[in-house]
Every structure is written in structure tokens, then in C-alpha cells.
Amino acid sequence: MEVKASVIFSKKRKGDEQGYLHVLYRRGAERAKVSLEFTMTKEQFDDLYDKRFQRFIPTKKIDFKSINERIEINLKRNPFDNKKTSYTFLSYFEYKKSMLSNHSTINIHSTCLTNLKIYLSSIGRKDIKFEDFDNDFILRMKSYFKQKGLQDSSIRLYLNTYSSIFNSAAKDKVFTQVNPFVQHKIKVVGKPKKVLTEMDIKNLQKLKPSDEYFLESRMFLFSFLGNGLRCSDMMLLKNCNFTNRNAIEYIQMKTGTSMKLTYNTQLTKVILDIIGMGDVIDKLKSTYSGYIENLTYNGCIKQIYQRLNEEYFEGYKDDTLLAENSPFEKHKGFIVKKSDQEIRTLIDYSYDILREITVTARMKLVEYFKKQKPNELLFKDFIKSDVFNDYDKKLPFNKEQFDIYKSKFTSYNAKIKRMSKKYDLTLTNPTTHSARFTFTNILLSMDSINLNDIRIALGHTSLITTQKYLQTGFDFKKSDALNERLNSIFE
């Protein structure tokens, strides 16, 4: 009986913004559905899919070439053919890899497949059947990887990938027995996170545009002050993400979640530095006098105390002063005498002035970005390519985008290591994720911070993810409060 196949669009849940592409097979009353591993909106599917040719039209909105190649492969398949049970593990692995569209995932599968082939070669085999993966085989393979010096985290990645192939085979009814990797879970002991100190951050803030690695320092500070923004999200920010006067709006690449990031004074300074307007806040400061002669938040408060001949206690650093029945209390990040209303009033005054300066600077930023090309990258001088101008972060990279991003990611990693060495930072070997770790580490040192606060600030969609990270509905008000407290440390 003839098998008929067609491309369909479907959503997991009715309210989802995006859905998945599948090929639906029909043979008489029989039905089978195979995922094409691509996501898009219903509007994109309706506008770009040509039913006459069962292909997507040429467009920059989606990676139409990869999708059409996947469609062509699957339209030739016969999911009802019992001969598919003749797949070996390697041939099925190769088939599943050919179905992937995310180039990062393709690289992972390629590495896992290559290492399995190397192990098979070491024991005199060229291929392996599904049923050959018994307990003894897996234990010997794990031991081999360990002897080759692979870290537990790498071995766990390999085993998890092989396990996922077994799960896919079960769905495709290629192999229907119990997944043998279920009993082989590797627990990886968390290593200490690589974090910078507060003094390291302040030293980076002092760099001038003429200093070496100035742009990389601003990229790192942007990620840190931006609630631990992931490198991928930071690098691919566009001018259009900065045109809201209240917050930076962007889409998380990893989760597809819509995010808002409130401008604070320090983040505003960093953005001004990036676009070559770093003197804006200094010019605004010069318009104020009186107690605000040297206008930084901590500097201003120090002047107030000096004028009143009082002892100065910065930030949250001496909580012993706040013991029960102490004459001191906290006020906007500073420890003050409960009876001293004048100090409190002056702190409020300086705080309001600083807020006014931040608002004014922020408005100048928004005006600047509204005049720029919307899809141009904020870090265009670092990326030096326009392949991301039309990129939709809800879609996977095409190969050109993946290759350029990987190259720039590697370059940024290398440069921040050299930056750390040149400026004698306490962390000698930072990574792109060190900004996110540092942000999290400071959150953990703050008063009354709980796990959900950290989940919110980091943009995790699940508390389980946050729990694993320390061993998105997004509450913007709570994030703003954390953001404001972080800001006060580095004034």
C-alpha cells in the first residue's frame, strides 16, 4: 500500500508561541509522525511553507536550506518498513545526527560518536549492535575513557548522549528493550566557581578607552552588571534592545524567555563607554555642587560624614554594629545612627541626585539607540560581521552563524584571560561564565537572599536548574531590587 507523507506544524501546548515541524506518514489507517527538529511560529509556517512543492521558500527569516534538506530525507522514508530494525547502533546514531539542526548539538553528537568509534577500534570492532550494550561493556567503556584522562563531566556527557540515542530508538521502535544506560549515572562533584572579587570589578571599571582590552572589560562588566547575562545573550544584543526608556529588553537564547533588565547607574556607564559616550555622566555631575562635589554614591556619603565629623561605615561590611539594642541601623546600604536624621536626609538627597543623573543619562542612551540601525549589534566592533543582523534568537544558528559565533566566543575567552593577567586580577584564568558566577557569588553574600531570588535574577525557568547551578515568568520588581543593591556596591 502506498505511503503518503506531508509536512505539518503542531504545538505542544495551545498557548505556546512556537511549534514544531513534523512529517506525518499515512498508509491506510496507519499513522506515524517524525519530528524534523525545527521550531517556528505558526505565522512563519503559513507564510513560508509552499504546500505545492512541500518545501519552504528561500528567505532570511529561517534556515530554509537545512529544513528543506531534512524534509527531502524524510519524505523518502517509509516508517512502516520493518527493515529499519536492521539498524546497528552506529548507523542509527549517524541517522539521528543527520536529523539535527542545532550546530552546537551536532558538534556534541559528533564528538560522542567519534569517541565511541575510537573505543570500538581499541577492542578490535568496527560497529556495535544495540543488544551489545550490556552492563559489562558500558563499565569497560567508562574505564577506558577514564584511563584516557577524560573528566567525569565529559564521560557523563557521552553516556547521556548514548542514552538519548537508545531513547530515540525506542520511540522509533528500532530497539524496544530496556535502555542499558539507566543504571549508569555519573555524579559530578561541583568545582569551586571561578569568581572575581569586588576589587577586581572596581579595577576593571577604572580602565580608560585607551587601555588595552578596554572593549573586553566592558563586555565582561556588561555581563556582570546585567544580572550575570550569558555570553551568547550579551554578544548578540542589538540596538533595538535598548529603545525602551525603562529597561533593556531581550530574548534569552537558551530558554527563549523574554527578559527585562533595568538600567542602573553602573550599567548605564558601561553602555555609554561601549558607544563612545563615556563622558556623559561626568558632564552631568559637573552641573551639581554643594555636598555633591565629587559625585559618586559612596564618595558623596563619605563627604557627608567628614563634614559632620562622624565615623563612616560603608555598605554592609560591619553588621556587628547592628547587634540587638544597637544605636545603629541600615539606611540605603549604609549604617547610620538611629538618632541622626540629618545623615539620613543627606543620604536621601544624594541618592535622589544620583538617580536623576542616571535617568538623564539613560534618556540620552535611548535617544542614541533610536537613531541607530535597529538590527545592528551593540558589540559590532567585536563581532565584525553582519550575519546576525537578521538572526532570530528563537531559531538555531545556521552553519555560518555558528562558525562565526564559535570563533568570536573563543577569541573573547582568550582575551579576558590576557586581560586578567595584564591587570593583575585575582582570578588568573577567567572564562566567559565567570561574570555570571561572580554575580551569583555576590548575591549569595547579600542578606535575605533565597533560592528563588537567585533563580529570578539569573533568569532560570526552574528552581531545579538554580539548585544544580549552585552545586522564567520573571519577577522584575524583585530583580530590580537586587540590581539596585548590586549597583550601590560599585558606586
pLDDT by residue (tens digit) across 294-313?
434 455 555 545 544 444 44
pLDDT by residue (tens digit) across 48-88?
999 988 999 998 888 888 888 888 888 877 777 654 457 89
Is pTM, for the whole model, over 0.85? no
Least confident of 75-79, 107-111, 432-436: 75-79
What gap in Å lies between CA 452 and CA 467, rounded to an integer? 10
pLDDT band with cut points at 50, 70 and 90 for residue 382: very high
Contact, 172 vs 133, CB < 8 A? no
Write out the three cell numbers for 336. 547610620
Numbered ranges of CATH 1.10.150.130 in the chain: 84-189
Residues 6+ apart with CB under 8 A from 323: none
* Mean per-residue pLDDT of the chain: 82
Answer whether residue 274 shows pLDDT above 90. Answer: yes
299 CB burial (10 A radius; 0-12, 13-18, 19+): middle
What gap in Å lies between CA 281 and CA 270, rounded to an integer? 11
Please provide residue 300's backbone torsions phi and psi, each rounded to the nearest 5 degrees: -65, -45
pLDDT band with cut points at 50, 70 and 90 for residue 482: low
The amino acid sitting at 420 is S
Answer whether residue 289 shows pLDDT above 80. Answer: no
Answer whether residue 316 shows pLDDT above 50. Answer: no
Which of residues 93 and 314 earns the better pLDDT score? 93
May I ask the CATH class of domain 198-283+358-489? mainly alpha
Numbered ranges of CATH 1.10.443 in the chain: 198-283+358-489
May I ask the CATH class of domain 84-189? mainly alpha
3-state secondary structure of 8: strand
Please provide residue 71's backbone torsions phi and psi, each rounded to the nearest 5 degrees: -60, -45
Can you name the residues that pair with 336 across neighbouring β-strands? Answer: 329
Long-range CB contact pairs, 435-438, < 8 A, 24+: 435/220, 435/221, 435/223, 435/224, 435/228, 435/229, 436/223, 436/224, 436/228, 436/229, 436/230, 437/193, 437/194, 437/195, 437/228, 438/195, 438/196, 438/201, 438/224, 438/228
pLDDT by residue (tens digit) across 336-353?
778 777 777 777 777 777
Q: Which residue has the cell 505558526?
A: 42
Buried b or exposed e, range 50-73, using 16+ CB within 10 angstroms: eeeeebbeeeeebbbebbbebbee
What gap in Å lies between CA 475 and CA 247, rounded to an integer? 14
pLDDT by residue (tens digit) across 163-207?
999 999 988 888 888 899 988 877 766 667 788 988 999 999 999
What gap in Å lies between CA 172 and CA 73, rounded to an integer? 16
Provide the CA 309 distance to its chain's centre, in angstroms. Answer: 47
pLDDT band with cut points at 50, 70 and 90 for residue 491: low
Q: State which H helix or E strand residue 35 sits in.
A: strand 30-41
